[in-house]
């Protein structure tokens, strides 16, 4: 099949790359989903929708999980579902207060496996301090579900009036921070799926970040923007910042934290660790004057001990995301086109 044939196919039908968090997914959202459903709130394309009532502001989000395999070092689909939804609420500045759990189970799925995953859901929800308060269960015919289980979680959070985050608040000179090592989740799932063994076990970073983020906000840090770098990785988040804020981003390779085993695995398999998914990381943009205070708060938390200042917001025409390499060179960082690692969340 030629490149032209592939291009024609993607114009007619959905392919896996449409769900990868890259350029193809962005086109699907813009050309089809927003074309049909677009409105003022949805068009923001944030991790959650801010809904205002007469007395308060709420954040609402939903996410579906189709990871293969269902269980992997550092977690499983249950922990992933809870942490992913909690983090989407938290990076909007919200305090999560309740989750839903929807399960699509394939006929023949072992009850012992379901019990392990439900216990994982319970453990993650308890750790985050956010209960599962409603849900739904469907059973489908054998052979349709692939891995045997799909999960959907939705969540609601309270949002203080004082919290205002967004691309419009980002300014030149702001610092770009991350709370730890990148690429852990994607490479851990890939290693198990393909039976690849390394001297050091790769583990997913799946973790609820609402506690860490709440401590940052309580410390009075003027957070301008937050997002969790899941599909599309750090590169996808930085590309969104550049495109929506109309500003450039410079990150320094020496400052980007990556576990040695993850870096080696990514290099061996030909992946750019900047585009690999994470499930326990948050990218923050803060004024440079608040940088050290923010890092201090994050490093005191169990999920922020390797927090780092990885770069800065700059002016540029056109606005680009650039990596300053260890040798002093520069390369443009782009979001992936399709999906390098399918079904990692």
- Residue finishing a domain among 159, 183, 215: 159
CATH of the domain at 100: 3.30.1330.10
Q: Residues 6 or more apart from 127 whose CB is under 8 A from it?
A: 208
Do 248 and 313 fall within a single domain? yes
Show the domain range for 120: 46-159
Grouping H, G, I as helix, E, B as strand and the rest as coil, residue 281 is coil
Confirm whether 53 is domain-assigned.
yes
> What is the domain count for the chain?
2
Do 179 and 313 fall within a single domain? yes
Confirm whether 33 is domain-assigned.
no
Digitized pLDDT (tens) for each residue of the chain, 345 residues in all = 454 555 555 578 988 778 766 778 888 988 998 899 989 989 888 889 999 988 899 999 999 999 999 999 999 999 999 999 999 999 999 999 999 999 999 999 999 999 999 999 999 999 999 999 999 999 999 987 788 999 999 999 999 999 999 999 999 999 999 999 999 999 999 888 877 766 678 999 999 999 999 999 999 999 999 999 998 999 999 999 999 999 999 999 999 999 999 999 898 888 999 999 999 999 999 999 999 999 999 999 999 999 999 999 999 899 999 999 999 999 999 987 765 667 888
CA torsion sign, 32 to 37 to 40 to 41? negative
Do 101 and 200 fall within a single domain? no
Query: pLDDT digit string (tens) for 15-34?
Result: 877 876 677 888 898 899 88
Do 319 and 181 fall within a single domain? yes
Beta pairing class for 321-324 and 132-140 = unpaired
- Residue finishing a domain among 110, 137, 159: 159
Confirm whether 4 is domain-assigned.
no
Do 231 and 291 fall within a single domain? yes
Beta strand spans in 1-131 (E): 49-52, 57-65, 71-72, 75-76, 95-106
CATH of the domain at 298: 3.90.650.10
Question: How far from the centroid of its chain's Cα atoms is residue 141's Cα?
Answer: 31
- Residue finishing a domain among 124, 159, 194: 159
Please give the mean pLDDT across all residues of the chain.
92
Q: Backbone phi, then psi, for 209, in 5-degree steps?
A: -105, 10
Do 200 and 126 fall within a single domain? no
Confirm whether 293 is domain-assigned.
yes
Do 209 and 289 fall within a single domain? yes
Decide: pTM greater than 0.75. yes
Beta pairing class for 248-252 and 321-324 = parallel
Do 147 and 178 fall within a single domain? no
Query: pLDDT digit string (tens) for 159-211?
Result: 999 999 999 999 999 999 999 999 999 999 988 887 776 667 899 999 999 99
């Amino acid at each position: 099949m030629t490149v032209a044939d592939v291009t024609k196919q993607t114009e007619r039908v959905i392919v896996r790359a449409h769900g990868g968090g890259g350029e193809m997914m962005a086109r699907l959202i813009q050309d089809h989903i927003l074309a049909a459903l677009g409105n003022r709130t949805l068009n923001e394309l944030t991790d959650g929708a801010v809904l205002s009532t007469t007395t308060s502001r709420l954040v609402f989000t939903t996410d579906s999980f189709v990871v293969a395999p269902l269980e992997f070092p550092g977690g499983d689909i249950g922990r992933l579902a809870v942490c992913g939804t909690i983090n989407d609420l938290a990076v909007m500045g919200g305090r999560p207060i309740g989750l839903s759990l929807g399960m699509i189970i394939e006929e023949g799925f072992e009850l012992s496996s379901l019990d392990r995953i439900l216990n994982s859901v319970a453990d993650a929800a308890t750790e985050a301090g956010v209960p599962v308060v409603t849900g739904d269960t469907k059973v489908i015919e054998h052979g349709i579900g692939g891995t045997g289980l799909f999960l959907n979680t939705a969540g609601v959070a309270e949002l203080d009036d004082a919290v205002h985050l967004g691309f419009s608040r980002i300014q030149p000179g702001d610092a770009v921070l991350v709370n730890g090592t990148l690429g852990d989740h994607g490479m851990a799932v890939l290693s198990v799926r393909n039976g690849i063994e390394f001297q050091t076990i790769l583990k997913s970073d799946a973790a609820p970040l609402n506690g860490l983020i709440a401590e940052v906000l309580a410390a009075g840090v003027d957070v301008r923007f937050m997002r969790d770098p899941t599909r599309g990785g750090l590169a996808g988040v930085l590309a969104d910042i550049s495109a929506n804020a109309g500003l450039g981003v410079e990150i320094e390779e020496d400052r980007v934290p990556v576990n040695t085993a993850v870096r080696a695995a990514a290099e061996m398999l030909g992946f750019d660790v900047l585009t690999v998914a994470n499930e326990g990381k948050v990218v923050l943009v803060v004024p440079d004057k608040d940088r050290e205070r923010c890092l201090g708060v994050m490093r005191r938390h169990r999920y922020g001990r390797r927090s780092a200042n990885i770069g800065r917001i700059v002016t540029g025409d056109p606005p680009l995301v650039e990596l300053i390499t260890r040798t002093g060179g520069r390369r443009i960082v782009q979001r992936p086109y399709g999906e390098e690692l399918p079904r990692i969340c």
